[in-house]
Amino acid sequence: MDRRNIFKAILAGAGATLALGRSPAQAQDKPAARATKVAYHLSDIDKVNFVLGNIKNHIEGTGGPGKIEIVLVVHGPALRAFKKASAEPNVSQRMAAFSKAGVKFDVCGNTMRGLQLELTDLLPGFAVVAEGGVVRLADLQAQGYAYLRP
């Protein structure tokens, strides 16, 4: 590369930096905005404990209860993990703690009908979403909720 091309490259880089008003290093130092409303999507039964762990970490990472709105939308096979008669003790304990922390639990009405379950068959805290879990997730996203499917 000759001197003229090197000089042009340096000028172009400097001009871009000035146009942005800060260096690329400064731009990376700015913390990203955190979502204040999050919708977790859970349909895989093998991910129940993983998702519940993510929710726990999310609450703690944002400063504790009251700092974030979380809605867990459950449908499909994952719903079996929340049956009152057969739920693992750690799932029941986490649900109770999350309820106290303000987490909302929505369950797909279509899955409920398909599995022939009533709300009383599930751990306390769920609300039935008659229109379906995926419709609820789309509605939450339209309301500004960040969508997470771990």
Q: Is 147 exposed, middle or buried (0-12, 13-18, 19+ CB in 10 A)?
A: middle
Give yes or no: residues 86 and 107 share one domain.
yes
Cβ neighbours of residue 118 under 8 Å, at least 6 residues apart? 112
Please write the tens of the pLDDT for every residue from 59-81: 999 888 888 999 999 999 999 99
Give yes or no: residues 1 and 69 share one domain.
no
pLDDT at 90 over 50: yes
Q: Minimal CA–CA distance to 40: which of 116, 131, 141?
A: 141
Give yes or no: residues 54 and 3 share one domain.
no
What CATH number does the domain containing 78 carry? 3.40.1260.10
What is the residue type of 70?
I
- Name residue 73's beta-bridge partners: 41, 106
Of 4-18, 75-89, 120-134, minimum mean pLDDT range: 4-18
Please write the tens of the pLDDT for every residue from 1-30: 555 555 455 545 545 444 445 444 554 555
Give yes or no: residues 69 and 117 share one domain.
yes
Give yes or no: residues 25 and 4 share one domain.
yes
Answer yes or no: are the C-beta atoms of 9 and 43 closer than 8 Å: no
Q: So what's the pLDDT on residue 7? A: 47
Give yes or no: residues 10 and 42 share one domain.
no
Give yes or no: residues 53 and 102 share one domain.
yes
Please write the tens of the pLDDT for every residue from 137-150: 999 999 999 999 99
Q: How many folded domains does the chain comprise?
A: 2
Give yes or no: residues 39 and 85 share one domain.
yes
Q: Minimal CA–CA distance to 111: which of 55, 38, 42, 40?
A: 42
Domain extent, residue 24, equals 1-30
CA 12 to chain centroid, in Å, comes to 41
Q: So what's the pLDDT on residue 57? A: 95
Percentage of residues in the chain having pLDDT higher than 90:
72
| CA distances to 16, 39, 74 from 77, in Å | 52, 18, 9
